[in-house]
Structures are given as structure tokens and as C-alpha cells.
């Protein structure tokens, strides 16, 4: 019986893997057809040319320095956004006047155009700080809304029962609030991490930040090296995907702890 179950799980895993592989194959097929149609590396470089340039980038030490610096800026901005959002969403969830004070501020931050935020940050900060500041201003309202919704969405019957039976605060926090919030928190983190990388790179382009993927992309565009530009784009996509996979794996581990 156990063997049949294992076989079924393996079949499910294989089928789940086939869908993204099919999507990837479709993307590469469209890329190859479009590149053959235009026959111009300036407009749409071929897959072979792009991956040749990608290979050249991957053997250069500076590539890894630039990727590491961009990743560090993105993570710094994300951690700050996460900490501020969590620090403000907890009191807002339990103290309604505080939530009402924050509501218009968060709404304004959420609706402010991204380009406006980036340009203002360039005026207020230097080229190294601007990408981090941009990330905080844009990612914070998204995380705050997700955390606030997760906390206020905890089953009121359970919280009332815990209050009636005078369950200690730490027990309520660890056994009630944290397990209930975990799915929403991990979903919010996964959805905003890739966005954080994109925002950081966009800010690096405009801020001319040294040792960054953004400047490398801008230089490739300036010298009309489209294959190099797409190669850097692929690196950025992989970077975002790896971060999402790490969060997904951590989420799975935490859900096992929750159900233990």
C-alpha cells in the first residue's frame, strides 16, 4: 500500500514538473522563431548568441561582485520593510485608532507612482542608499497590509476563548497567532521578494549605483549590446526565482512545524 502511495506521489511530482518545463519550452520556441524572423542581434538576438554572452559573464569575477551587491541591497531593503511592517501592523491590529492614523499614510504610499518614488529618493539620498530607500517605500505598504490582514483575520472565536480562559500571552502568540499568520506571511514574502529585486535594479539604473546589475544593464543598452542586456535579465530572473524557492522551502518547513 505504501509503495502505491509513493508511486502516486512520484507521478504527481513529475506532472507538476512537466508544466513549467512545457512553459519554458514554449518561451524558448517563440524566442527562436522571433529571432529567426527579424534576423538581427540588435533587435532580438538568437538564443545561442545570448547564452554565449551569458557564459562570458559567468566566468568574470565582476559579475558575481555585482550580483552580490545588488542582492545585498535588495535584502537590506526587504528586511527593513519587513521589520517596519511587522512593528506597525501588530499595534494597528489591536489598537484601532492607530490603524486609522496609519491607513491614509499606507494608502498614499501604495498609490504613489514607482518612478516618482525613485526620482525623489535620488534627490534625498546618495546612489548607494537610494535603491534600499526605494524598496522600503514601495514594499513596506504591501507587507503592512498583508500582516495587518493576517493578524485581524485570526478566528475571533478562538481569540475570545483564549481570553476567557486566560491563556498566557506567549502561548496565544505561539499557538494561535503565529500558526494562523504563517500562510499569509509566507505568501506575502514570496510575492514581494521578486518585486524587491526588480525595484532595486530599476533604482540602480537611475542612480548609477556602482557594482550593480542595474548599471551593467544600462551599459549594455548604451553600447547596443542586446544579447548582453538579455543575459543580465536572465541572471536577474534566476536571482528572483532562487529567492522565491528558498522562501517556498522555508514555508514548507514552517507548515510542518505548525502541523506537528
Residue corresponding to grid cell 502561548 = 171
Distances (CA, A) of 241 to 65, 118, 142, 209, 232: 19, 24, 20, 23, 14
Please give the biggest Cα pair distance in the chain: 73
Which of left, alpha, beta for 46 (phi over 0: left; psi -120 to 50: alpha)?
beta
> pLDDT tens digits, residue range 101-111?
999 999 988 88
Average pLDDT over residues 79-107: 91
Confidence band, pLDDT 50/70/90 cuts, at residue 43:
confident
Q: What are phi and psi of 208, to 5 degrees?
A: 55, 45
CA dihedral 226, 231, 234, 236 (to 10 degrees): -100
Choose the CATH number for 51-259 among 3.40.50.1220, 3.40.50.2000, 1.10.3720.10, 3.90.550.10: 1.10.3720.10
Residue corresponding to grid cell 503565529 = 178
Average pLDDT over residues 158-167: 70
The confidence score (pLDDT) of residue 76 equals 94
The confidence score (pLDDT) of residue 139 equals 93
Average pLDDT over residues 137-153: 89
The confidence score (pLDDT) of residue 3 equals 46
Contacts of 11 (CB under 8 A, 6+ apart): none
Cell output for 13: 511530482
> pLDDT tens digits, residue range 6-22?
566 666 767 777 878 88
The confidence score (pLDDT) of residue 260 equals 55
Which of 256 and 73 is assigned the larger pLDDT? 73
Confidence band, pLDDT 50/70/90 cuts, at residue 152:
confident
* Distance of alpha carbon 229 from alpha carbon 221, whole angstroms: 6
Check if the beta carbon of residue 111 is closer than 8 Å to that of residue 97: no
Q: How far is CA 94 from the centre of its chain?
A: 28
Cell output for 225: 549590446
Average pLDDT over residues 89-106: 90
Amino acid at each position: 500500500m505504501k509503495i502505491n502511495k509513493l508511486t502516486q506521489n512520484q507521478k504527481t511530482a513529475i506532472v507538476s514538473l512537466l508544466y513549467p518545463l512545457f512553459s519554458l519550452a514554449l518561451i524558448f520556441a517563440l524566442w527562436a522563431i522571433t529571432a529567426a524572423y527579424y534576423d538581427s542581434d540588435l533587435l532580438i538576438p538568437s538564443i545561442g548568441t545570448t547564452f554565449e554572452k551569458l557564459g562570458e559573464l559567468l566566468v568574470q569575477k565582476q559579475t558575481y561582485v555585482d550580483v552580490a551587491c545588488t542582492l545585498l541591497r535588495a535584502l537590506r531593503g526587504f528586511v527593513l520593510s519587513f521589520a517596519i511592517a511587522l512593528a506597525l501592523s501588530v499595534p494597528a491590529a489591536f489598537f484601532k485608532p492607530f490603524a486609522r492614523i496609519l491607513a491614509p499614510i499606507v494608502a498614499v504610499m501604495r498609490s504613489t507612482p514607482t518612478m516618482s518614488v525613485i526620482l525623489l529618493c535620488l534627490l534625498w539620498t546618495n546612489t548607494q542608499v537610494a535603491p534600499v530607500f526605494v524598496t522600503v517605500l514601495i514594499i513596506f505598504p504591501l507587507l503592512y497590509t498583508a500582516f495587518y490582514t493576517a493578524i485581524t483575520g485570526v478566528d475571533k472565536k478562538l481569540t475570545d476563548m483564549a481570553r476567557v480562559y486566560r491563556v498566557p500571552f506567549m502561548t496565544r502568540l505561539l499557538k494561535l497567532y503565529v500558526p494562523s499568520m504563517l500562510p499569509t506571511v509566507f505568501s506575502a514574502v514570496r510575492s514581494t521578494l521578486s518585486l524587491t529585486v526588480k525595484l532595486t535594479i530599476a533604482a540602480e539604473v537611475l542612480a548609477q549605483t556602482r557594482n550593480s546589475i542595474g548599471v551593467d544593464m544600462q551599459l549594455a543598452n548604451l553600447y547596443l549590446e542586446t544579447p548582453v542586456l538579455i543575459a543580465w535579465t536572465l541572471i536577474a530572473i534566476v536571482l528572483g526565482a532562487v529567492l522565491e524557492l528558498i522562501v517556498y522551502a522555508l514555508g514548507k518547513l514552517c507548515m510542518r512545524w505548525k502541523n506537528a
